[in-house]
A = this chain, B = another copy of it.
Amino acid sequence: MIEAHLKKLRIRDDVSPEEESAIRALVSEVREYRPDKVVIRRGQELNESILLLDGWMARTKDLSDGGRQISELQFSGDFTDIHAFTLKKLDHNIATITPCRVAIVPHERVRATIDRFPHLGRLYWLMTNIDAAIHREWTVSLGRRSALGRMAHLFCEIRERLQISGLVENDSYEFPLTQQELGECLGLTAVHVNRTLQELRKRKLIEVENRRARILDLPGLKFVGDFDPYYLYLEKRPR
């Protein structure tokens, strides 16, 4: 579903038909991965990037005490590690959460394509800048918001981002994270995630069941999470 990827770009700027075919021609191969697998390891030399077609992935960092922190979630249509085009190696791992289908994009093709379409170069630069904006918002969450606020904020962010690809129906979406993984996003223990989740449900804001999140009161959830989607740059304009 490279369509999801095009949608993400087109929300932020126009993409011409010629650019679209150039993007489609980036893909050299499609691969499938099992859940809970580290697909790219920190430090590994990279000459290709992966575009996530289907499933959920996460950027993860391991700690010396055996713990793990997730620094960003990735969904269908996200160009997961396009930043490797300039970085050459990553400072973090990229791991699957669910089974995933990904498109492989060799860096020479990226190079050739943005030489031919500098506008696409700026667009992909933009996309990595949006990733950075998401990182900043997580910094705020982890630094200043309570467990309840953080969690509410994350559910709002996921809803907003999945909606772009049409993966939200009636404020409800598939939610494959275990409570352990949710804790790795939020800087909380699994035990406390469990209790915070119960608190959110008790307040009739959201419930999570059978790998599905159902938002019961979106304004309420946004209020508790102090959520403002501004940082996602959902505005179309020339870049």
**Please, how many angstroms separate the alpha-carbon atoms of A176 and B125 in the complex?**
33
Q: Does A132 contact B (CB under 8 A)?
A: yes
Chain B residues whose CB sits within 8 angstroms of the CB of A72 once the complex forms: 136
Q: Does A118 contact B (CB under 8 A)?
A: yes
B92-A143 in contact (CB<8A)? no
Instruction: Tell me the smallest distance from the CB of A59 to a CB of chain B, in Å.
Output: 7
Chain B residues whose CB sits within 8 angstroms of the CB of A115 once the complex forms: 118
Instruction: Give the bracket for the number of chain A residues in contact with chain B.
Output: 35 or more
Q: Does A63 contact B (CB under 8 A)?
A: yes
Q: Which of A80-88, A98-106, A213-221 contacts B (4 or more CB under 8 A)?
A: A80-88
**Please, how many angstroms separate the alpha-carbon atoms of A230 and B140 in the complex?**
23
Q: Chain A at the B interface: mostly helix, strand, loop or mixed?
A: helix
Chain B residues whose CB sits within 8 angstroms of the CB of A187 once the complex forms: 142-144
A140-B86 in contact (CB<8A)? no
A144-B69 in contact (CB<8A)? yes
**Please, how many angstroms separate the alpha-carbon atoms of A156 and B98 in the complex?**
36
Q: Which of A2-10, A20-28, A33-41, A231-239 contacts B (4 or more CB under 8 A)?
A: A231-239
Would you list 28 pairs from A and B whose C-beta atoms are within 8 A, ordered by A residue?
A43-B230, A59-B136, A61-B136, A61-B137, A61-B140, A63-B140, A67-B144, A69-B139, A69-B143, A69-B144, A71-B136, A72-B136, A83-B132, A86-B126, A87-B126, A88-B237, A91-B230, A91-B231, A91-B233, A114-B118, A118-B118, A118-B121, A128-B128, A128-B132, A135-B135, A135-B139, A142-B142, A144-B187
Instruction: Point out residues on A near B: beta carbons under 8 Å.
Output: 42-43, 59, 61, 63-64, 67, 69, 71-72, 83, 85-88, 91-92, 114-115, 118, 121-123, 125-126, 128-133, 135-140, 142-144, 184, 186-187, 226, 230-231, 233, 237, 239
